[in-house]
Amino acid sequence: MTQLGTERPHPSSAEPSRLSGLDRWFKISHRGSTIGREVRGGITTFVAMCYIVLLNPLILGASADITGARLSTEAITTATALAAGVTTILMGLVGNAPLALAAGLGVNGVVAFQMAPAMTWAQAFGLVVLEGVCIVFMAVSGIRERIINAIPMPLKVAITVGIGLYIALVGLVSAGFVTRTPDSAQSTVPVRMGIGGHLVGWPIAIFCLGLLLMIVLVSRGVPGAVLISIAVATGLAVLVNSVFHVQGWGLVEPKVPDQVVAHPDFSLLGDIDLFGGFASAGAVTAAVFLFTLVLSGFFDAMGTITSVSEEAGLTKDGKVEGMGRILLVDGAGALAGGVTGSAPNTVFLESAAGVGEGARTGLASIVTGGLFTATLFLTPLAAVVPAQAAAPALVVIGGMMMAQCARIPWRDLDFAIPVFLTIALIPFTYSITNGIGAGLVAYVLIKICKGKIREIGWILGILAAVFGVYFGIEGIMSWF
């Protein structure tokens, strides 16, 4: 595995006794990294995903629960930063992996727009806690790791490639380089480049300049290339915005904040009702909500952990080093999201940005988690970096992950279509779970039709059936 086009350094041959305690604990030299790289990687990951501190309150705050109550922006912001900080630090200490956690996009929408209208916020977060308990149980029992290991290697590689495309698409869309075509249902082109098919305005120019700078620095193997590019693009965005008062930045407008320190609001902490949702929404509806949360959290995290770890060179024979501990922390993240009131926390794709900067150990996660914790009191500073400055990192890292295509056996027809479905549907449906599910169902169906049932294994058979229910859940619900 290479690091952004440069040769990955060999593990240190230094005697263990000569290594620092920090180095030995995190296996920094063993994984071919340095403390400096880990710090840079941790900062880069934070910069790439700190938008969640601003975005999650917008999503959760946009809906009212069954009583008409709405969550305050200050409380959700505090909950988001607190959960992200604690769980990411825990990932560093326990999982020793360069993986950062925060409130998951997609599942927070389920909580806000599907669950809350059918129950109170406390009951919705109670179901989130139950999701975390289910995922922790599967991690502790080893079920979750066995499921991951049962998936054939070509499909695991396809997940990495699909997520690479997903990351790049997220970056392009968040920067405004790719936009949705208005009334796309009546158009043959659902998305387009820029505004009206043209790249217009300073925000797009900042993105393009930042992307070009990052490509040049990365191709030349400059240390800190990703972080340097983000910093330069952010500085330029602040300057341009202050001079020309530009519109169209999106969620974050790059400007020097009026104040630096903000007071956290912990009012949502521990405000949960574990089983009340079954009474408010009905047992069947609440069970479906819980099923959706568990399945989405399970496979979204599985795909992200596998692909980012592969990119970091932390896999051997398709298995991630320390996967059991990583999965345990991820499950605890979902639980923490319910307890804090921030929605289920899960591993973020943007962790790949830190890996691209050189992060290989949990020390990078501790740096990222520390910055999230500091954000509890420094929320205004998180609103300085616009999407146009951070998005180039997602595009470049996504492109690097596409190199895994060379490992896919395209001539093997048992895998060709399932792999394609996995790769295509992850970005096209904006869902890692959908891509994984479609690939697994197609793979199992092909094996059954070719009389190779014994090659499937009982785990994949059950997964295919579960995903069949997942894809048809709306139809099934209509029967009740």
C-alpha 455/C-alpha 449 separation (Å) is 12
Please give the pLDDT value at position 11: 46
The label of the residue with tokens 């394609």 reads 420
Domain range for residue 441?
411-479
Whether 455 maps to a domain, the answer reads yes
- 179 strand-pairing partners: 192
466 in any annotated domain:
yes
Are residues 164 and 275 located together in one domain of the fold? Answer: yes
What pLDDT is recorded for position 9? 45
* Domain's final residue, options 408, 440, 461: 408
Count of CB atoms within 10 A of residue 198's CB? 10
Collect all residues with Cβ–Cβ distance below 8 Å to 183 and sequence separation of at least 6.
none
State whether 165 and 277 are in the same domain. yes
Instruction: For residue 227, tell me if it sits in a domain.
Output: no
Q: Do 463 and 317 belong to one domain?
A: no
Q: Among 374, 408, 442, identify where a domain stops.
A: 408
- pTM for the whole thing? 0.73
Q: Are residues 83 and 126 in the same domain?
A: yes
Q: Are 352 and 268 found together in one domain?
A: yes
Strand partners of residue 316: 319
Identify whether residues 283 and 304 lie together within a single domain.
Answer: yes
- Contact call for residues 384 and 160 (beta carbons, < 8 A): no
The string over 331-360, giving b where at least 16 C-beta atoms fall within 10 Å of a residue's C-beta and e elsewhere, is bbbbbbbbbbbbbbbbbbbbbbbbbbbbbb
Contacts of 279 (CB under 8 A, 6+ apart): none
Q: Is residue 296 a part of any domain in this protein?
A: yes
List the pLDDT tens digit at each of the 480 positions of the chain: 344 444 444 444 444 445 677 888 899 998 989 999 999 999 999 988 887 887 788 678 878 899 999 888 788 889 999 999 999 999 999 999 999 999 987 678 778 887 898 899 999 999 999 999 998 998 888 887 888 788 898 998 888 788 788 878 888 988 899 988 876 556 677 888 998 788 989 999 999 999 999 999 989 877 678 778 888 998 999 999 999 989 888 767 888 877 778 788 899 999 999 999 999 988 877 887 888 788 777 777 888 898 889 888 888 877 888 888 998 999 999 999 999 999 999 999 889 889 988 899 999 999 999 999 998 887 776 668 788 988 888 888 788 878 888 889 999 999 999 999 999 998 898 877 788 889 999 999 999 999 999 889 898 999 899 888 888 877 766 776
Based on the fold, state whether residues 399 and 430 are members of the same structural domain. no
Domain shared by 172 and 63, yes or no: yes
208 lies in some domain:
no
Claim to verify: residue 430 and residue 314 sit in the same structural domain: no
Domain match, 264 and 353 both: yes
60 and 162 share one domain: yes
In a domain, 415, yes or no: yes
**pLDDT value, residue 382:** 62
Shared-domain flag, residues 399 and 424: no
Q: Which residue has the tokens 């996660």?
A: 365
The number of distinct structural domains making up the chain is 2
